[in-house]
Amino acid sequence: MMAAPGMVNNMGMGEYSEQQYMEQEEEWEREGLLDPAWEKQQKKTFTAWCNSHLRKAGTGIDNIEEDFRNGLKLMLLLEVISGETLPKPDRGKMRFHKIANVNKALDFIASKGVKLVSIGAEEIVDGNLKMTLGMIWTIILRFAIQDISVEEMTAKEGLLLWCQRKTAPYKNVNVQNFHLSFKDGLAFCALIHRHRPDLIDYHKLSKDNPLENLNTAFEIAEKYLDIPRMLDAEDMASTAMPDERAVMTYVSSYYHCFSGAQKAETAANRICKVLKVNQENERLMEEYERLASDLLEWIRRTMPWLANRQTDNSLINVQKKLEEYRTYRRVHKPPRVEQKAKLETNFNTLQTKLRLSNRPAYMPTEGKMVSDIANNWKGLETAEKAFEEWLLAEMMRLERLEHLAQKFKHKADIHEEWTKGKEEMLQSQDFRHCKLNELKALKKIHSAFESDLAAHQDRVEQIAAIAHELNALDYHDSNSVNIRCQRICDQWDRLGSLTQKRRQALDETEKILEKIDTLHLEFAKRAAPFNNWLDGTSEDLVDMFIVHTIEEIQGLIDAHNQFKATLGEADKEYNAIVSLVKEVESIAQKYQVPGGLENPYTTLTATILTKKWADVRQLVPQRDGTLQNEFRKQQNNEMLRRQFAEKANQVGPWIERQMDAVTAIGMGLQGSLEDQMQRLKEYQQGVQAYRPHIEELEKIHQAVQESMIFENRYTQYTMETLRVGWEQLLTSINRNINEVENQILTRDSKGITQEQLNEFRSSFNHFDKNRTGRLAKDEFKSCLVSLGYSIGKDRQGDIDFQRIMAAVDPNNSGAVTFDAFLDFMTRESTDVDTAEQVIDSFRILAADKPYILPDELRRELPPDQAEYCIQRMSPFKGAGAVPGALDYMSFSTALYGESDM
């Protein structure tokens, strides 16, 4: 079922033809919705409308179905309202003469593009009232209503929108159609008051007095506006639903009567449009400045932190700094990446809007250009890379320092334990009170000590070398290391000097003491190196180590296994040395040698060697366990390497594929701009959905770093390269979305079709061989020629081309972007607002005065835009200025960057 009468205004925009009315009325008639009173209202209204035009020719009609039957007044009516001359009418009174004249009128109507449906000359000649009213309505539609245009809507919709706008401020008026909305007469009174407030006091009218309201409007319109009374107040008030055609006809007379005021409204609309654009641009500029200031201030605050290389040379402090850096990359930086992308997007959108609205390009305050932000951002990323590299290198250095410091302490402890009491022993004068054999024993003891002393020379040199390395690596407690090392070296020098003096003393007494205990001497000679071997072996078995790979720990395990293979020979040597002691005991017992069980050549005993040998045998399995624990640790590290590599080798190629796909979309040949936007949004959602993979990789990377893993042979990707790739992907998607939005904005504002845009993009891409998104001069010229743009090869052609290049490449960079290319291809054929157009609009509102008053602005413009103008317009200082006069000319030129305002 079709909509009820009067609801056609919701059926769509555009022209409302007679054919549509005829078809709809037939439907209404079948459903019993037509009101018999409508025909009466139409007859009265159409008669008055025809007479309002026929009186210009000095005639009129009394009966609409009778007076048009011969076609003469019908042809005259068409000549008056069209201003054209119809063919000469037939003057005969026969039926065929009348039919011929009516046909001439109908042919003229058809020649104006009006399709007549079911209306023939015979029905008009026969006085068919319904057909006659239909014909007149067709004429009214074509010559009184069809040319009405408001915001690209025509005919009925345009007229309805005009009524709605004019009556919007009035209480109790809500125009939604051309029947019930006008039934109480307030809408007619509001239209009159809006344009001629001097003719009617609207505030005294009441919705409860429809007859009074209707008569007031009809009388004032007829008396002061020369609009004939086409409607009857009683019919309007008493009919359940007034005839829509009659009301539209009458209202169209109001529209044409106030067409002068319509010019002022059009001017006001243009000004509002321009001011709205300017206000939005100012908002975008302020937002850009705020975002840029905030981002640059954050970078400024962050850079000193990244440049700080001060530590207390402790591993814990550096590990804390590394954790702070991880928090910065995970928590603090991602919002700034989004802020930077938003900043670039806002800047590009603003520049596009300024260019499309014929405004000068926006120049941010000094230091806040997009290039400035990019340079600062690049500096930040360089500082990040350097800071992370320094942290990792510092961790490796401090780890080695800690290892060296522990090794120094371990060796120093062993050495100091060995030297304990040695100075007192060397300074002893015991040899002066012993027997010959005892003296010889003392001499052998001293020889053994010298051998022992020489064997300990390597340890002292190692201690000094470690101390030197700790100093070179700037160990935080190097002062105490140096003091202890110096104490050991000084003591070593004293031991050497004392040893030499004792040797000399023993040599002087050697002539007195000659007997030597061979067995004790043999024990001393063999026990000393074996004891040194035991000490060295014990030291090696508890020696600390640091490795980073399975190969390194495997090497230590292999070396340990080789050492264990030598334990058999060591056991033989141990048994041989112990057998010497047993032999001494046997001889001393057999011959009762006084003091024979005491070895005068060494302080070593079989008990000491036995204990140390037992200690070595116990340390061997402990060393096995330590090496195996480290082996498992390196296995875990290897697992982390493989785990990171496996994930990185998935994420890295995925990011690269997304980048390639986004770049391909950015080339603009994959469907319409809306299709490209949809695909980019899908990629944006897909990338956001992929973020957990990056976060998972970050967790693995953290475990890698905490395990002190500094290299990975299983992948070419590092966490840093993946972070950069991820941020570049996000930035690329945002940038391409922004570019497509700007292209849509350009396409829609310039009125170009998708096919034209595809043609422009295809041509641009064809000559963009390197896919840089820019065309060199020669490529740009070839592209223009391919699109049919004529550029001569003579001197004038060069001049024309240089003029074009100056427009599309104002910075003289030598290349043309797609946005600039698109803007050029559409600019010259598109109607854009100019300063001159805005000035003309203000001049209309000001009634041709060179200035405008605040009251005039407030009357014609919305409140916010009126105040916007009043606050920014300079006082008018020209001739004839009155108090409060404002200079709208300088204000208009300032909107387009053509003055110093």
Residue with tokens 């011969």: 70
pLDDT at 739: 82
Kindly write down the DSSP assignment for every residue of 381-404, as one continuous string. Answer: HHHHHHHHHHHHHHHHHHHHHHHH
Confidence of residue 61 (pLDDT cuts 50, 70, 90): very high
What's the token pair of residue 253?
């007379």
For residue range 281-305, list pLDDT tens digits in order: 888 899 999 999 999 999 999 999 9
pLDDT at 887: 93
- Across the range 102-113, mean pLDDT stands at 88
pTM flag (> 0.95):
no
Residue 637 confidence (pLDDT) above 50: yes
Q: Do residues 3 and 11 touch, judged by C-beta distance below 8 A?
A: yes
What's the token pair of residue 210?
């429809």
Task: Give the C-alpha separation, 577 to 121, whole Å.
Answer: 147
Residue 535 confidence (pLDDT) above 70: yes
Residue 20 confidence (pLDDT) above 50: yes
- Across the range 260-280, mean pLDDT stands at 76
Kindly write down the DSSP assignment for every residue of 562-626, as one continuous string. Answer: HHHHTHHHHHHHHHHHHHHHHHHHHHHHHHT-TTTTS-TT-S--HHHHHHHHHHHHHHHHHHHHH
Task: Give the C-alpha separation, 615 to 443, whole Å.
Answer: 31
Task: Give the C-alpha separation, 434 to 439, whole Å.
Answer: 6
Helix (H) / strand (E) containing 149: strand 149-150
Residue 432 confidence (pLDDT) above 70: no
pLDDT at 31: 45
Distance of CA 460 to the CA centre of its chain: 63
pLDDT at 478: 83
Q: Which residue has the higher pLDDT, 788 or 536?
A: 536
Going by C-alpha positions, the residue among 632, 613, 620 that lies closest to residue 563 is: 620
pLDDT at 595: 64
pLDDT at 714: 87
Going by C-alpha positions, the residue among 414, 412, 404, 539 that lies closest to residue 466 is: 404
Helix (H) / strand (E) containing 886: strand 886-887
Task: Give the C-alpha separation, 248 to 156, whole Å.
Answer: 8
CB atoms within 10 A of CB 479: 10
Give the 3-state secondary structure of residue 900. Answer: coil
pLDDT at 290: 92
Residue 7 confidence (pLDDT) above 70: no
Confidence of residue 25 (pLDDT cuts 50, 70, 90): low
Residue 855 confidence (pLDDT) above 50: yes
Q: Which residue has the higher pLDDT, 377 or 825?
A: 377
Q: Do residues 513 and 435 touch, judged by C-beta distance below 8 A?
A: yes
Task: Give the C-alpha separation, 166 to 158, whole Å.
Answer: 12
For residue range 86-98, list pLDDT tens digits in order: 899 988 888 888 8
pLDDT at 485: 92
pLDDT at 592: 57
Give the 3-state secondary structure of residue 306. Answer: helix
Beta-sheet pairing, 815-817 with 874-875: unpaired
Residue with tokens 């989004």: 338
Confidence of residue 898 (pLDDT cuts 50, 70, 90): low
Task: Give the C-alpha separation, 705 to 231, whole Å.
Answer: 90
pLDDT at 832: 57
Task: Give the C-alpha separation, 238 to 251, whole Å.
Answer: 19
Confidence of residue 743 (pLDDT cuts 50, 70, 90): confident
- Across the range 494-515, mean pLDDT stands at 73
Residue 2 confidence (pLDDT) above 60: no
Going by C-alpha positions, the residue among 286, 316, 462, 309 that lies closest to residue 395 is: 316
Q: Do residues 778 and 816 touch, judged by C-beta distance below 8 A?
A: no
Confidence of residue 13 (pLDDT cuts 50, 70, 90): very low
For residue range 857-890, list pLDDT tens digits in order: 888 888 888 899 999 999 998 888 899 999 999 9
Task: Give the C-alpha separation, 425 to 285, whole Å.
Answer: 90
DSSP letter (8 states) at residue 332: I
- Separation of first and last alpha carbons in the chain: 61
Q: Do residues 224 and 196 touch, judged by C-beta distance below 8 A?
A: yes
Residue 668 confidence (pLDDT) above 90: no
Confidence of residue 514 (pLDDT cuts 50, 70, 90): very low
- Across the range 17-46, mean pLDDT stands at 63
Confidence of residue 650 (pLDDT cuts 50, 70, 90): very high
pLDDT at 460: 87
- Across the range 228-246, mean pLDDT stands at 87
Task: Give the C-alpha separation, 592 to 433, whole Å.
Answer: 22
pLDDT at 593: 47
Residue 6 confidence (pLDDT) above 70: no
For residue range 334-372, list pLDDT tens digits in order: 999 998 898 888 888 888 888 888 888 889 999 989 889
pLDDT at 5: 36
What's the token pair of residue 283?
């908002």
Going by C-alpha positions, the residue among 861, 853, 858, 844 that lies closest to residue 881 is: 853
Confidence of residue 830 (pLDDT cuts 50, 70, 90): low
> Which amino acid, residue 792?
G
Helices assigned H by DSSP within 667-794: 673-706, 719-750, 754-767, 777-786
DSSP letter (8 states) at residue 364: P
Going by C-alpha positions, the residue among 304, 295, 278 that lies closest to residue 368 is: 295
Q: Do residues 409 and 333 touch, judged by C-beta distance below 8 A?
A: no
Q: Do residues 20 and 115 touch, judged by C-beta distance below 8 A?
A: no
Going by C-alpha positions, the residue among 134, 118, 106, 164 that lies closest to residue 243 is: 134
Confidence of residue 516 (pLDDT cuts 50, 70, 90): very low
- Mean pLDDT for the chain? 83
Backbone angles phi, psi at 712, to 5 degrees: -145, 110
- How long is the chain? 901
CB atoms within 10 A of CB 430: 10
pLDDT at 873: 92
Confidence of residue 596 (pLDDT cuts 50, 70, 90): low
- Across the range 160-169, mean pLDDT stands at 88
Q: What does the angle CA 754 – CA 755 – CA 758 come to, to the nearest 5 degrees? A: 85
DSSP letter (8 states) at residue 145: I
Task: Give the C-alpha separation, 813 to 93, whole Å.
Answer: 82
What's the token pair of residue 582?
């047993």
Sign of CA dihedral 72, 76, 82, 86: positive
Burial of 577 (0-12, 13-18, 19+ CB in 10 A): buried
Strand-pair partners of 776: 815
pLDDT at 150: 63
Backbone angles phi, psi at 817, to 5 degrees: -80, 165
Confidence of residue 435 (pLDDT cuts 50, 70, 90): low
HEC letters along 187-217: HHHHHHHHHCCCCCCHHHCCCCCHHHHHHHH
pLDDT at 765: 80
Strand-pair partners of 887: 874
- Across the range 590-618, mean pLDDT stands at 79
pLDDT at 109: 87
